[in-house]
Structure 1
Amino acid sequence: MTYYWREVDMPDVIVVGAGVVGAATAYYAAEAGLDVTVVDRGPVAGGTTGAGEGNVLVSDKEPGPELDLALLSNELWRSLAGRIDFEFEAKGGLVVAETPAILEQLVELAAKQGVEHTVTRDVSAYEPHLTPDLVGGVFYPQDSQVQPMLAAARLLSAARERFGGVRLRTGVDVTGFLLSDGGVRGVRTSAGDILAGAVVNAAGTWGGSVAELAGVRLPILPRRGFILVTEPLREPLIRHKVYTAAYVTNVASDSEGLETSAVVEGTASGTVLIGASRERVGFDRTPSTTVLRRLAAQATALFPVLRDVRVIRTYCGFRPYCPDHLPVIGADPRVPGLYHACGHEGAGIGLAPATGRLLAQLLSEESPSMDLRPFRPDRFEEDR
């Protein structure tokens, strides 16, 4: 039987997805005075957000629209951290090089990026426990880290407490869209229909599936990654986010096969997070000892001191991969009233505030503070 939420529950905007991108969208939409309902089939941060490291990076972005988005988001994260507690660490990132040729490539990229950075040939000044075999690196002071699950939860709670007009419906599956000749007028869910003036698809890795329910195509695919978590350390061994140049290459890769690179950082709780792997294997969550061993070997080669530290758990998640490595942000011209905020791959946590703010500006009929054409939802139609 079909039924409707009470009239008071008919929002201006429905956000599909309670990950960090959906939470940021709800926060900024509520700040703009809009009434918002967030719907998720699972709990808050139950998907990709809950399996992320919390990276807020500018260092791994090529010059262009994604770097511009990252710089805006970096500024917004810092502003939010001054008002909301979600374990924001402005620790900086160190990209290290094993050979002079790799160091030269890193220096060239940093110069093209045009962001604040320092080139060093003494990486031990930043990280005393690094292997002495490295020839140098580039330090990016803007690189930061948040606790992603806490960030999503705190953004939603802050939106409710400060602005009102935000409702959260977890355990509710979106099964279709309510469409009319004028476009979207709400969503059909496992708990009944919800009417609204606009719907934002912030479903992350499942953004393509949600788009299909509205009759449009977004080629978003899952890209699996594993993380190792060490026992809590009595004293911090690692001061910054540290990774090798191969990480930058892997982020930009189109390969379906397994790619790994050393990414190591500490957390506020004292544990050390070790990544990163990438492979397109659908939604297969089967643990891979091959991948986990490779990640451990790469991490201990970078930080030999970690050989005496125990791993206490591992987990995996799925990055929402787009073929051109750019997220999908903005109004969908194919279905009026439908907006997208998904496809960020491994950068969704870092890019969440900028994405949410830009969506809120569109939903409030304001001019967005960035050119959204590179992220337009219908750009993939040209490839068909």
Structure 2
Amino acid sequence: MSSSTARADVVIVGAGVVGAATAYFAALVGLSVIVVERGSIASGTSSRCEGNVLVSDKEVGPELELSLYSQRVWREDLAEYADLWEFESKGGLVVARSESSMRALADLVAHQRTLGIRADMIDDIAGVRALEPYINPALAGGAFYPDDAQVQPLLATHQLLRLAREHGAQVRTRTAVHGILTSGGRAEGVETSAGRISAGAVINCAGPWSGELAALAGVHLPVLPRRGFVLVTEPVPVTVHHKVYAAEYVGDVASSDAGLQVSPVVEGTPSGTILMGASRERVGFDRTFSADAVARIAASGLGLFPALRDVGVQRAYSGFRPYCPDHLPAIGEDARMPGLWHAAGHEGAGVGLSVGTGKLLAQALRGEQTDLDLAPFRPDRLEGVAAA
């Protein structure tokens, strides 16, 4: 190991999309930044997800507020770069199978609209099929969210880091963090496989591994991996125009059940392939292929789009979403270890929430009042919460 010591205002651990966004906004405001990543850029969750930028799947509360804020950052602060990460404002269509599901969806939409979310109820299947001609005609209706969007997550991560480099940030891949440097109860840098990096702030952006990184500083952060599979079909003439999912998906995302859950999510891609999800289960970092999960995803997807029944599956992939027991990410400085900051636990919303998280952290690092109150996301709220 090298004995060299580097210095920066901020050292960010993790080169996924959250770390990349944080690096960009921190560098943009003049902070010196070093990003360290034990693998390659976007080699974890950010390379194994769909790139959702959604408001429709958020229940009312702090995460929805962060989602709305992040939407503005994507669409306004970063508008000039939209083509770099293939920002596509495709809209989201949430569908209901029964009249009782329609009533629950209507209540959610009514509440969301009071918060500024654009959403329109579609009271019958004819209206739904006007948006998605191939959708199951047995559905009761749905709701359309015009602001739901998509980015290509690998491109977003790489391009945000490129922009960060243009503002002076350094990115060091194949560099593992072995310890957190502390003095007087404060984090002051990291010990890596390439030497020490001293910094005024250490930011934990390690995704599903954030709990392990926090433990190096003696801090409890109950972020756990939640495995999910996605299916990719062969290119087909059947076109899915929007991100389409069942109303039950919102409740499943907010569930704390450790067992396998599957709720249908279907969308098309510019190449003509169809993506099908979504499953979630807590099995640690087990990468084993699950035939059960994949079969249930396929079946649930066909429930939305029966026309896909004879379409071949080209591949399936899985990734680990960083799950937090109360379904809110940890964002901000850790009161238990000053100097240690976290941007972790975004679960399946990390891509969409990344830029809002990064901009807010940059404001907080400079001691400014943040655009959004970070108190609901404070890391110390998780002290004593079991990581199970």
**TM-score with structure 1 setting the length:** 0.96
Amino acid at match of 1:160: R
2:138 alignment counterpart: 133
User: How many angstroms does 1:236 deviate by?
Assistant: 6.2
Alignment partner of 2:315: what SS? strand
Amino acid at match of 1:305: A
1:186 alignment counterpart: 189
1:112 and 2:117 aligned: no
- Whole-angstrom CA distance in 2 between matches of 1:154 and 1:324: 31
Aligned-residue Cα RMSD (Å) equals 1.3
Alignment partner of 2:321: what SS? strand
Q: 2:362 aligns with which of 345, 360, 371?
A: 360
- Whole-angstrom CA distance in 2 between matches of 1:383 and 1:301: 38
CA deviation vs aligned residue, 1:144-199 (integer Å, no higher than 9, x gap) = 111111100011112222x2x11111111111011111611110011111111111
Instruction: Report the identity percentage.
Output: 58
Asked if the contact 1:204–1:342 (Cα under 8 Å) also holds between the matched residues in 2, the reply is yes
Asked if the contact 1:227–1:275 (Cα under 8 Å) also holds between the matched residues in 2, the reply is yes
- Whole-angstrom CA distance in 2 between matches of 1:308 and 1:81: 39
Asked if the contact 2:3–2:196 (Cα under 8 Å) also holds between the matched residues in 1, the reply is yes
Alignment partner of 1:119: what SS? strand
User: How many angstroms does 1:383 deviate by?
Assistant: 4.5
User: How many angstroms does 1:81 deviate by?
Assistant: 4.0
Asked if the contact 2:263–2:279 (Cα under 8 Å) also holds between the matched residues in 1, the reply is yes
1:223 and 2:222 aligned: no
Asked if the contact 2:238–2:307 (Cα under 8 Å) also holds between the matched residues in 1, the reply is no
CA deviation vs aligned residue, 1:83-113 (integer Å, no higher than 9, x gap) = 2510111001000001011011011011112
- Whole-angstrom CA distance in 1 between matches of 2:9 and 2:37: 17
User: How many angstroms does 1:75 deviate by?
Assistant: 1.2
Q: Unpaired segments of 5 or more residues in structure 1?
A: none
Q: Which region of structure 1 is more displaced relative to structure 2, 368-377 or 82-91?
A: 82-91
- Whole-angstrom CA distance in 2 between matches of 1:56 and 1:175: 33
Q: Unpaired segments of 5 or more residues in structure 2?
A: none
- Whole-angstrom CA distance in 1 between matches of 2:157 and 2:103: 38
2:170 alignment counterpart: 167
| Count of matched residue positions in the alignment of Structure 1 and Structure 2 | 378
Alignment partner of 2:293: what SS? helix
- Whole-angstrom CA distance in 2 between matches of 1:124 and 1:236: 14
* 1:69-218 → structure 2 map (5 Å cutoff): 69-79=66-76, 80-84=78-82, 85-114=84-113, 115-120=117-122, 121=124, 122-161=127-166, 163=167, 165-181=168-184, 183-218=186-221
**Shift in alpha-carbon separation, 1:94–1:288, aligned structure 2, 3 A:** same
1:316 and 2:318 aligned: yes
Q: 1:282 aligns with which of 284, 294, 313?
A: 284
CA deviation vs aligned residue, 1:11-43 (integer Å, no higher than 9, x gap) = 110010100000000010011111111111111
1:375 and 2:382 aligned: no
CA deviation vs aligned residue, 1:215-260 (integer Å, no higher than 9, x gap) = 1000111111000011233x56011000001211110111011110
2:50 alignment counterpart: 53
Asked if the contact 1:87–1:268 (Cα under 8 Å) also holds between the matched residues in 2, the reply is no
Alignment partner of 2:320: what SS? strand
Once superposed, which parts of structure 1, at least 4 consecutive aligned residues long, lie more than 4 Å away?
A: none
- Whole-angstrom CA distance in 2 between matches of 1:159 and 1:329: 20
Amino acid at match of 2:302: T
Amino acid at match of 1:264: V
Asked if the contact 1:81–1:88 (Cα under 8 Å) also holds between the matched residues in 2, the reply is no
- Whole-angstrom CA distance in 2 between matches of 1:214 and 1:360: 22
- Whole-angstrom CA distance in 1 between matches of 2:118 and 2:108: 12
User: How many angstroms does 1:308 deviate by?
Assistant: 2.6
